[in-house]
């Protein structure tokens, strides 16, 4: 197809100002403009956060997120709409967020922040604080996110194991397990970090059985998608002290409802689906768009093509 008009859909505003990305791409040999729902029909391609039915009429949709579980793959395929995603840019950002969670728990920093709100001088019990070297993190999903987590935690002295479908080795991981050995792999870890895409196979992968397999002193970290976890089963495990705690960036329902018990748990850190946020996000995702505009002009296959 011929690319003349590329729209930056206003929904990207959840992550960065749409005008920043439009300005970043202004030197491309095509028209780039910020658009709302009424302008979709004028575009050959859109860069977006959310899905709209009208995208079935354009030629190419680029998701500013890596996760594309909200797009109707079959309908895109039927209508010949190309879908590309932003995998490949979230290694360091999510890696540092996960390292932050682990350091909060190990050094009890989340307790200090909570106590400060109450102007309370309250030291941890003598046996609460620990250091990370010598602990093991099992990272489930060894793609961009998993590798970034492995590299960042490895730098902090954590032994990092991984779980993926093939079980083939991955640089930066001390050991890799195939996913049919998930329960054995997570049983061995002080930290379990979820970095898989949401698919039919991974929906509710972390259920009561998985939480029962984990150590009672283990922390659970989810930076993938909420529905990879059976959230009521996680809440049960936390309430029963079958886990030490959890750091959660993603939830079955977002925003996390105000009445969720997760908000009030001392050993649970809630972040609002922002593990990958950085002021450079529009540049990182813009570089993928730019590369694909070039590839289209040169008749080469799209980078990060999903459909
Ligand atoms: P990648 O495609 O790079 O990696 C996905 C990895 O998951 C692959 O290594 C794959 O390995 C593995 N995998 C897939 N299915 C399974 C399975 N059934 N069991 C075990 N491993 C599996 O994706 P990214 O790392 O870029 O992103 C992963 C997900 O993280 C995204 O889909 C998105 O939902 C989420 N995300 C969340 C963010 C946030 O802000 N919290 C930011 C960015 C992404 P193999 O093929 O060997 O199985």
One pLDDT digit (tens) per residue for the chain, 307 residues: 999 999 999 999 999 999 999 999 999 999 999 999 999 999 999 999 999 999 999 999 999 999 999 999 999 999 999 999 999 999 999 999 999 999 999 999 999 999 999 999 999 999 999 999 999 999 999 999 999 999 999 999 999 999 999 999 999 999 999 999 999 999 999 999 999 999 999 999 999 999 999 999 999 999 999 999 999 999 999 999 999 999 999 999 999 999 999 999 999 999 999 999 999 999 999 999 999 999 999 999 999 999 9
The pLDDT of residue 284 is: 98
Rounded distance, CA 4 to CA 43, Å? 8
Rounded distance, CA 92 to CA 147, Å? 9
The pLDDT of residue 190 is: 98
Nearest-CA residue for atom 33 of ligand 1: 67
- Side-by-side strand order, sheet with 5-9: 31-35, 5-9, 45-48, 60-63, 82-84
The pLDDT of residue 66 is: 98
Q: Which ligand 1 atom is nearest residue 168's CA?
A: 47
Active site amino acids: 225, 254, 273
Distance 111 CA to ligand 1 centre (A): 31
Helix (H) or strand (E) holding 78: helix 73-79
Quote ipTM for the complex.
0.99
Apex CA 273: angle with CA 144 and CA 261, to 5°?
Answer: 125
The pLDDT of residue 102 is: 98
Contact 191/166 with Cβ under 8 angstroms? Answer: no
Contact 204/224 with Cβ under 8 angstroms? Answer: no
Q: Which ligand 1 atom is nearest residue 197's CA?
A: 32
């Amino acid at each position: 197809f011929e690319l003349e008009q590329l729209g930056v859909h206003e929904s990207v505003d959840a992550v960065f100002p749409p005008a920043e990305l439009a300005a970043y791409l202004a030197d491309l040999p095509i028209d780039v403009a910020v658009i709302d729902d009424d302008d979709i029909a004028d575009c050959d391609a859109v860069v977006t956060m959310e899905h709209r039915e009208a995208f079935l009429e354009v030629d190419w949709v680029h998701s500013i997120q890596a996760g594309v579980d909200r797009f109707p793959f079959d309908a895109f395929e039927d209508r010949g709409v190309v879908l590309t995603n932003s995998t490949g840019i979230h290694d360091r950002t999510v890696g540092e967020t996960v390292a932050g969670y682990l350091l909060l728990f190990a050094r009890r920093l989340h307790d200090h922040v909570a106590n400060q709100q109450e102007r309370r001088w309250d030291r941890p019990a003598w046996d609460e604080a620990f250091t990370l070297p010598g602990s093991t993190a099992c990272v489930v999903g060894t793609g961009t996110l998993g590798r970034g987590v492995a590299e960042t935690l490895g730098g902090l002295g954590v032994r990092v194991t991984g779980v993926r479908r093939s079980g083939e080795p991955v640089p930066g991981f001390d050991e890799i397990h195939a996913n049919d050995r998930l329960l054995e792999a997570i049983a061995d870890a002080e930290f379990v970090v979820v970095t898989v895409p949401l698919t039919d196979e991974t929906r509710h992968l972390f259920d009561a059985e998985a939480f029962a397999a984990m150590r009672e002193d283990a922390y659970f970290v989810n930076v993938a998608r909420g529905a990879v976890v059976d959230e009521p089963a996680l809440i049960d495990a936390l309430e029963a002290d079958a886990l030490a705690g959890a750091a959660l960036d993603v939830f079955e329902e977002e925003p996390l409802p105000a009445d969720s018990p997760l908000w009030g748990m001392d050993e649970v850190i809630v972040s609002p689906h922002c593990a990958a946020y950085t002021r450079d996000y529009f540049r990182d995702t813009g570089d993928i768009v730019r590369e694909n505009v070039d590839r289209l002009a040169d008749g080469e296959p799209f980078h990060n093509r999903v459909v």
